[in-house]
Chains A and B, each alone.
Chain A
Amino acid sequence: MSERVIEIEHLTKYYDGRCVLDDLCLSIPRGSVYGLLGRNGVGKTTLIRILLGLEPPTRGRVKINQIEPQDLTALDRSKIGYVAEGHNLIQRYKVEKLINLCKDIAINWDNDIFKKLTDLFNIPMQRRVKELSTGMRAQLNLALSLSIDPEILILDDPSLGLDTVVRRQFLELAIEVIQKEGRTILFSSHILSDVERIADHIGILLGGQLVANCTLESLKDRVKKLRIIFSDQPPSTLYLTDVINQKIKHREMTLTIANYNEQKQRLIEAYYPESIDEIPLSLEDIFIECTDPQTVSLSA
């Protein structure tokens, strides 16, 4: 479990003078399911593309399976399954031709898995890829990625444009992969309930940096939302560190705070509030709070 499958050190990427990734550090242990979250344009896809060697970094070092992406051999690449955002397949090919190509190139092709998946998805073989619906393209892409029995599965917003049923099938298959020992999944998605369902580690990208990088439990444990009622007008600030968000309405103060502990609780109590209640937070709530520009870092 301690072996790092993905290691990123001080990664910086500029696009046309705009900093997309800023000195980003991240490591993903083998066997984990890492949910990479972030709003549109924060660099999730760029990060994944750099990992796969499709994009060169401006600065910093990236390793996947302890090898830098540009040095990955065909054998190394055969251990990585990738489902791209928008399902980047060769659009003008017929499905059958694309499958044969992937089969011929693959070093480790599991025909049983592939057959099972294509039967399940009912993918029409004689149609061109561009004629398939978004859902079918996603299914085809996933089937191709899973049939190589990947050690690392990288899913870049794979459920984009999928209906609920297909999305559920997709997630179940991903869970099936996870159950195989030592398999690692890097999963980027905007559908946080999906991420919450399968991820055990969470990373939240904001302004080119990871503002959260820890296990899902730890994230839920460390970020608290408190409703504090005062007998009079609340103080404008409680002089606490790691405050993510603060709102005051009449006698009520709503406070989202990171790394909440007894010491911070005592500090709040020093203001003699009438009551302090904890508001339960879902991953989606945490994400919304964390993507506020004033967010503090929650890295492990």
Chain B
Amino acid sequence: MWTLVKRELSDVVIFLITIQIITITALAISGSYLFEALEDKPYGLPIHMYSILTIGGIILTWLASIFGCYQMQTDKTHKVSTFLCTLAATRQTILLSRIITGLIFTLLPIILTAIMFYIALQFHPRVFDLGQYSTILIKMFFTLTLLAITNYAFGLQLGLSFDKDQKQIDAGKFLLLLTAISLLLIILVYLKGIGLTCWMILLLLSTCSFWLLFNKYTKVPL
């Protein structure tokens, strides 16, 4: 299994590094504004922190869906699974290793951001009380994680239906679809608000999507 995960990671290493750079750069740019005291505090958070989390979240969830789609699309184009299936690997392990890589891709920037926020909140001279932000931050990061995973699952689904003979048409069509899905999920989060209902919906959507994907992938011709 680890060999397959390693293979998946090596295939997407550029993608992986790019997203980390984007995340870290965004954080570095925003760092200087982060804790400026403002009157308007959505969810009790300073507006810049809130904006960065929101924009970062939108970008990350969108990228997660593209990443899922890219993984499956590359697999189809290069017939990677077809080859791996003729070695000592089953479809289940191939898919599982792909999902593990996807989760690493999705969770790593969130974890990095969370760690940086934590460090910044602890040591920034103008913010002394981490406690007043911790609950909402945990809730926001958890929602972001679920949102990114759901988007990633949808991306995988869409990538599996990629037709390599219609590469150009599908690439454009899929990009639009993925953007639409990401936007719909973000709207859902805004409408429902960060909380149990929203989490349950996202959890249900991602579970269903992974279950469908598993069923489809284990039966589809490779």
A interface with B by C-beta (< 8 Å)? 49, 52-56, 70, 72-75, 77-78, 80, 82, 84, 88-92, 97, 101-102, 104-107, 148
Contact = CB atoms under 8 A, between A and B. Distances in A.
B78 A72 contact: no
Contact of A84 (B80, B86, B91, B219): B86
B88 A90 contact: no
A79 B89 CA distance: 11
Contacts of B86: 52, 54, 77, 80, 82, 84, 88
Contact of B87 (A53, A77, A91, A97): A77
B7 A77 contact: no
B88 A92 contact: no
Contacts of B122: none
Nearest to A70: B218
A74 B89 contact: yes
A86 to B, nearest CB: 10
Nearest to A98: B83
Given A105-B87, A106-B87, 7 more contacts: A52-B85, A74-B93, A78-B88, A84-B86, A88-B83, A105-B84, A105-B88
A75 B89 CA distance: 8
B82 interface: yes
B221 A74 contact: no
B79 A53 contact: no
A106 B84 CA distance: 11
B222 A54 contact: yes
Interface string B1-30: 001101100100000000000000000000
Contacts of A55: 221-222
Nearest to B221: A55
Contacts of B79: 88, 90
Report whether over half of chain A's contact residues are helix, strand or loop; otherwise say mixed.
loop
A88 B221 contact: no
A247 B147 CA distance: 74
B90 interface: yes
A75 B88 contact: yes
Nearest to B7: A101
Contact of A53 (B4, B6, B10, B85): B85
Given A54-B82, A88-B82, A90-B80, A105 B221 contact: no
Contacts of B91: 53
Contacts of B82: 54, 84, 88
Contact of A54 (B7, B87, B221): B221
Nearest to B74: A92
Nearest to A107: B88
A74 B83 contact: no
Nearest to B218: A70
7 contacts: A54-B221, A88-B83, A90-B78, A90-B83, A101-B3, A105-B3, A105-B87
A194 B78 CA distance: 31
Contacts of A52: 85-86
Given A88-B79, A101-B3, A72 B90 contact: yes
A107 B1 CA distance: 12
Contacts of A70: 218
Contacts of A107: 88
Nearest to B10: A97
Nearest to B219: A56
Given A54-B222, A88-B83, A89-B83, A73 B78 contact: no
Nearest to B86: A82
Contacts of A106: 87-88
Given A101-B3, A105-B4, A56 B85 contact: no
A105 B80 contact: no
